[in-house]
Structure 1
Amino acid sequence: MGLQATTFRHGAFLLAVLALTLAFAPVSAPPAAAQQATRGPVTNLPLPRFVSLKTSEGNARRGPSLSHRIDWVYKRRSLPLEITAEFGHWRRVRDRDGAGGWVHYSLLSGVRTVLIQEDMVALRAQPTEDAEVLARAETGVVARLGKCTPVWCQVTAGGEYGWVEKTALWGVDLAELRE
């Protein structure tokens, strides 16, 4: 009987190790097409997706309720954020730096904005490299997002508008097209 008990414990130990190994094994990311097909369980909208902060101040909490600790306070109206998850009236968001948390949906807007990521980026009259430069925008400027081609997006900021290469923007997916 002692041998059987030892064998069983050994077997149980091996099963536990296997279960832990599978639970913490790295999971490869699904193909891009599968990632884009993910839908939020609450809104049925695509995940991830970009939105903007509707108010001039918004709390990002550790979890999806008012009882969770506040980790971040966003203090910039129209700041672009990326929704990565949904739970009831809460959306898990992240900013350009990867910081974020759970924000109540009433603080978010579907109005699309982008953050300029390059200093003194040219806003051009047409979506071409040789088009006339209408204005320049500094790093950190929040701009309203307009049309997007495969390479360029039309933006508006501070009364100025023009076309900017997508690689200079945060808040728009590189594969995203907008009319």
Structure 2
Amino acid sequence: MFLPALAAGLIAACLAGTAHAQDAEDDTAMPADLDASMTLESQENRGAVTNLPLPRYVSLKGSDGNARRGPSLSHRIDWVFKHAGMPLKVTAEFGNWRRIEDRDGAGGWIHYTLLSGVRTVVFEDDHTELHSRPDDKAPLTAYAEAGAIAKLGKCSVEWCDVSSKDADGWVRKTKVWGVDAQETRD
């Protein structure tokens, strides 16, 4: 029985999805009120700008996104995210800037226009099984490779429905990054 590999061409792109910026300009000081806004956000678990939950997951809208040391264009670029659709976690807000991190903890401040509310996940392991239903005994629909990215659909406490242009199916939530352990979605 042939089962398609989910987004096979994305492995190298996802593993090389971030590039450390070596030639960036000098860092400047953080705005004085930045620490106060982050403290307030962490106490309320809501973004001071959007009033959306923190932390929360988003995805990279385009194929390039500069993550800076601070929330302005004058701050040094620490990372360049290179893969459209990459899931990212928003951990703070300041004006038009969002502090984000990827599954490895790399990140920084990125302008909100470079982010999308479309939810995606990245597969953690090679040969991750996708099933036709949220059940380990359900027929397999595909295998996903480590680093492949898929669009996130419904989620129960243990399973998520995911899809890409190559395949779709249900995956155990522990096999992907981009969704919280207790998060459910309809």
Q: TM-score range by the shorter chain?
A: 0.7 to 0.9
1:145 and 2:142 aligned: no
Equivalent residues of 1:151, 1:165 under 8 A apart: yes
What's 1:168 paired with? 175
- Runs (5+) with no aligned partner, structure 2: 1-41
Equivalent residues of 1:36, 1:47 under 8 A apart: no
- Runs (5+) with no aligned partner, structure 1: 1-34
Displaced runs of 4+ in structure 1, greater than 4 A? Answer: none
- Secondary structure at the aligned position of 1:83 is classed as strand
Using the alignment, how far apart are the partners of 1:74 and 1:81 within structure 2? 10
Using the alignment, how far apart are the partners of 1:121 and 1:51 within structure 2? 22
Using the alignment, how far apart are the partners of 1:46 and 1:123 within structure 2? 29
Using the alignment, how far apart are the partners of 1:123 and 1:70 within structure 2? 37
Count residues in correspondence: 145
Is the radius of gyration larger for structure 1 or structure 2? 1
What's 1:5 paired with? none
Structure 1 vs Structure 2: percent identity of aligned residues? 61
What are the Cα deviations for residues 123-162 of structure 1, in whole angstroms up to 9, with x where unaligned?
1000001000011000000000000011000001233100
Using the alignment, how far apart are the partners of 1:36 and 1:45 within structure 2? 13
- Counterparts in 2 of 1:1-179, with a 5 A limit? 38-179=45-186
- Secondary structure at the aligned position of 2:174 is classed as helix
Equivalent residues of 1:59, 1:103 under 8 A apart: yes
What is the root-mean-square deviation of aligned Cα atoms in Å?
A: 1.2
Bigger relative CO (Cα 8 Å, ≥ 6 apart): 2
| Higher relative helix content | 1
Using the alignment, how far apart are the partners of 2:43 and 2:125 within structure 1? 27
